[in-house]
Chains A and B, each alone.
Chain A
Amino acid sequence: MLKESVVAELQKIVGKENVLTSPEALKAYSYDGTTSWVHEPDVVVFPTITQQVSDIMKLANAEKIPVTPRGGGTNVSGGSIPIMGGIVLCTTKMNKILKVDKENLTATVEPGVVLQDLTIRLMKEGLFFPPDPQSFLGATLGGIIAENAGGPACVKYGVTKQYILGVEVVLPNGDIIHLGGRTLKNVVGYDLLHIFISSEGTLGVITKAELKLNPIPPAKKTIMVVYDDVAKAGESVFRVLENGVIPGKIELMDNWVINRIEEMMPMGLPKDADALLLFETDGIPEAVEKETEKIVEIVKKYGAVDARVAKDQAEADKYWMGRKAGFAAVFGKAKTVFAEDVTVPRGQIPALINKCKELGKKYNIEVVVLGHAGDGNLHPAILTDINNKDHYDRAVKAMDEIIEGAVELGGVLSGEHGIGLEKQRFLKRQLEPVVIEMMKKVKALFDPNNIMNPGKIWE
Chain B
Amino acid sequence: MKDLKELKKIEQYADQCMKCGFCSFFCPVYQEEKTETSVARGKNYLVKEILKGNQEFTKELGNIIGLCLLCKRCVAMCPAKTQIDRVVVGARAQMVNEKGLGAIKNFAFRKVMANRKAFGNYVKLAKSFQWLLPKTEGNIRHLPDFLKALGQGRNIPALADKFLREIVKPVYKPQNGEKPKMKVGYFMGCATDFMYPELGLKFIDFLTKRGIEVVVPESQSCCGAAMYFSGDFETGRLQAEKNIEAFKDVDYIVTACGTCSSTLKDYQKYLPETEDQKKRFEEFEKKVKDSMEFIVDIMKVKPEELTLKKEFEGKTATWHDPCHLVRYQNIKDQPRAILKGLKGLKYVEMPNADLCCGMGGSFSVYHYDITKKIAGKKMDGIKATGADIVVTACPGCMVNLTDNVLQNKMPQKVYHLLELVE
Interface residues of A (CB under 8 A from B): 20, 22-25, 27-29, 31-35, 46, 72-74, 90, 92-93, 95, 112, 114, 116, 135, 137-138, 264, 324-325, 327-328, 331-332, 337
B55 sits at the interface (CB 8 A) = yes
Rounded to whole Å, the gap between the CB of B176 and the closest CB of chain A is: 45
Rounded to whole Å, the gap between the CB of B390 and the closest CB of chain A is: 23
Contact A24 B58 (CB under 8 A): yes
A72 to B21, alpha carbons, bound, how many Å? 7
Which single member of A23, A73, A114, A137 contacts B36 (CB below 8 Å)?
A73
Q: Could you list 7 further interchain pairs (A-B, Cβ under 8 angstroms) beyond the known A24-B61, A33-B21, A112-B34?
A: A28-B46, A31-B19, A33-B20, A138-B20, A327-B20, A328-B80, A332-B80
Contact A138 B36 (CB under 8 A): no
A27 to B26, alpha carbons, bound, how many Å? 22
Chain A residue contacts of B19, Cβ below 8 A: 31-35
Rounded to whole Å, the gap between the CB of A275 and the closest CB of chain B is: 22
B24 sits at the interface (CB 8 A) = yes
B35 sits at the interface (CB 8 A) = yes
Rounded to whole Å, the gap between the CB of A166 and the closest CB of chain B is: 25
Chain B residue contacts of A31, Cβ below 8 A: 19, 45
Chain B residue contacts of A35, Cβ below 8 A: 18-19
A74 to B36, alpha carbons, bound, how many Å? 11
A46 to B35, alpha carbons, bound, how many Å? 9
A90 to B22, alpha carbons, bound, how many Å? 17
A426 to B222, alpha carbons, bound, how many Å? 61
Chain B residue contacts of A325, Cβ below 8 A: 79
Chain A residue contacts of B34, Cβ below 8 A: 46, 92-93, 95, 112
Give the nearest-CB partner of B24 in chain A: A138
Q: Please report whether the interface of chain A is mostly helix, strand, loop or mixed according to DSSP.
A: loop
Chain B residue contacts of A138, Cβ below 8 A: 20-22, 24-25
Contact A137 B80 (CB under 8 A): no
A327 to B78, alpha carbons, bound, how many Å? 12
Chain A residue contacts of B22, Cβ below 8 A: 135, 137-138
Q: List 28 A-B contacts (CB under 8 A).
A: A20-B35, A23-B60, A24-B37, A24-B60, A25-B36, A27-B46, A28-B35, A28-B45, A31-B19, A33-B18, A33-B20, A33-B21, A35-B18, A35-B19, A46-B34, A46-B35, A74-B21, A90-B35, A114-B24, A114-B25, A137-B21, A137-B24, A137-B25, A138-B20, A138-B22, A327-B20, A328-B18, A332-B16
Contact B18 A332 (CB under 8 A): yes
A-contact 0/1 string along B22-66, CB 8 Å cutoff: 101110000000111100001001100100001100101100100
Contact A116 B25 (CB under 8 A): yes
Chain A residue contacts of B315, Cβ below 8 A: none
Chain A residue contacts of B46, Cβ below 8 A: 24, 27-28
A93 to B34, alpha carbons, bound, how many Å? 7
Chain A residue contacts of B18, Cβ below 8 A: 33, 35, 328, 331-332, 337
Give the nearest-CB partner of B63 in chain A: A24
The winner among B24, B45, B58, B64 for most chain A CB atoms within 10 A is B24
Rounded to whole Å, the gap between the CB of A263 and the closest CB of chain B is: 12
A20 to B35, alpha carbons, bound, how many Å? 9
A92 to B45, alpha carbons, bound, how many Å? 19
A33 to B80, alpha carbons, bound, how many Å? 13
Rounded to whole Å, the gap between the CB of B396 and the closest CB of chain A is: 28
Contact B24 A25 (CB under 8 A): no
Rounded to whole Å, the gap between the CB of B370 and the closest CB of chain A is: 13
B210 sits at the interface (CB 8 A) = no
B5 sits at the interface (CB 8 A) = no
Contact B80 A73 (CB under 8 A): no
B81 sits at the interface (CB 8 A) = yes
Contact A28 B36 (CB under 8 A): yes
Contact B55 A327 (CB under 8 A): no
Rounded to whole Å, the gap between the CB of B11 and the closest CB of chain A is: 13
